[in-house]
Amino acid sequence: MGNPQPVGSDSSKPRAVLWDLDGTLADSRIYHWRAWQRAMGDEGLTVTEEQFLASFGQRNDTILGEWLGPDPDPTQVGRVGDAKEAFYRELVRTEGITPLPGAAEWVRALHEEGWGQAIASSAPKLNVKVMHEVLGFSGLIEILVAAEDVSRGKPDPEVFLEAAQQLGVPPERCVVVEDAEAGIEAARRGGMRSIGVGEGAIEAADIAVPSLVHLPSDTFVRLIEGD
């Protein structure tokens, strides 16, 4: 893929791209799976791959509320969730992670064109910070919004609205990039345009592509300008 060049818009008006993290900028699914297996195993519990896949992208309190049964012990929920995230960060730091195809090129091109950029994720803040650093996006994506910054998860639009507010960009001038239906729905509820990325069809997105490398160079501008 050549370097994408967002073109054709009045850059004097604020505009922003709000990125989901896991599955959009990078694929860390295997690290999450390994970390959950270890954290649950340390409690003498098991989790199936089917359960994991069904939960991917949700907040830990929601996930463990399902896995630990009705009325789970809040102390255990916190302990297991914290252990899982610590194991996950260890894997990212020690084994590394690379951006998904096209992600680094788009982040760099949008930065050079003056777009505001934020990561808006359901992940814990420490995870987002570690991935932001390891992926090499420091200085390119300036705002990080994570689970601790909001009270409601996707499909509620709170995480995207918070990111837009921190960037000082109105929702109608924001484009959300997501790999999950809940995130696309959150963008719609927040009054933002959206790009769905991934092999699964994200029918509700304004534009859906299997990979960021398939986005035409004027995609973000066209979404903002409404052409």
Q: What is the mean pLDDT of residues 142-155?
A: 94
Residue 113 confidence (pLDDT) above 50: yes
Q: What is the mean pLDDT of residues 69-96?
A: 95
Q: What is the mean pLDDT of residues 148-164?
A: 95
The token duo for 114 is 């003056």
Q: What is the mean pLDDT of residues 93-116?
A: 97
- pTM, full prediction: 0.87
Give pLDDT tens digits for 38-71: 999 999 999 999 999 888 767 788 899 999 988 8
Q: What is the mean pLDDT of the chain?
A: 92
Give pLDDT tens digits for 164-177: 999 999 999 999 99
Q: Which domains are present in the chain?
A: 16-26+100-225 (3.40.50.1000), 29-95 (1.10.150)
The token duo for 223 is 């979404």
Residue 5 confidence (pLDDT) above 60: no
